[in-house]
Amino acid sequence: MTPRRRHVRVAIGRRLLDVGDLRFEDDGTRQVSAFHYASSWLERAGAFALAPDLPLVEGPHVRSGRRGATRSALPGPISDATPDSWGRGLIERDLGRPPNELEFLLSASDETRQGALRFIDESGTPQYRDWPPVPRRNDLARLLALARAYETGPAMGAGQLRELAGHAGSLGGARPKSDFDDNGTLAIAKFTSDRDTRPVERVEVATLNLARAAGLHAAEARLEIPEAQRPVAIIRRFDRGEGGRVPYLSAQSFLGRDEAEGGFYTDMLDALAAHGADPVRQTEELHNRLMFTMLVSNNDDHLKNHGFLHRTGGLWVLAPAFDINPQPERHRMLATGISEEFGRAASIEAAIEAAPYFDLTEDRACANLRRMLDVIAQQWSVRCRAAGMSSREIAAYRPAFDHEETRRAERLVAMKMAVTTQASRPLLAPNDQVDEKRTASSGTSEP
Same domain, 24 and 126: yes
Same domain, 264 and 331: yes
Compute CA 155 distance to the chain's CA centroid, rounded to the nearest angstrom.
Answer: 34
Predicted TM-score of the model (pTM): 0.90
Nearest to 77 by CA among 321, 273, 335, 275: 275
Residue 33 burial class via C-beta count within 10 angstroms: exposed 0-12, middle 13-18, buried 19 and up? buried
Q: Is residue 276 part of a domain?
A: yes
Which pLDDT belongs to residue 226?
87
**Total domains, the chain:** 2
Q: Is residue 183 part of a domain?
A: yes
Report, as ranges of residue numbers, the positions in the chain whose pLDDT lies below 50: 430, 432-447
Same domain, 402 and 253: yes
Same domain, 164 and 312: no
Q: Can you give the residue range of the structural domain that contains 267?
A: 246-424
Same domain, 31 and 156: yes
- Collapse the DSSP code of 88 into the 3-class scheme (helix H, G, I; strand E, B; otherwise coil) and give the result: helix
Q: Is residue 311 part of a domain?
A: yes
Same domain, 185 and 251: no
Which pLDDT belongs to residue 3?
73
Same domain, 35 and 173: yes
Residue 53 burial class via C-beta count within 10 angstroms: exposed 0-12, middle 13-18, buried 19 and up? middle
Per 3-state DSSP, what percentage of the chain is helix, strand, and coil (rounded to 5)?
40, 20, 40
Same domain, 169 and 279: no
Q: Is residue 46 part of a domain?
A: yes
Q: How far apart are CA 204 and CA 436, in angstroms?
A: 59
Q: Is residue 226 part of a domain?
A: no
Query: Could you report the per-residue pLDDT of 323-378, keeping only the tens digit for each?
Result: 999 999 867 899 999 999 999 999 999 999 999 999 999 999 999 999 999 999 99
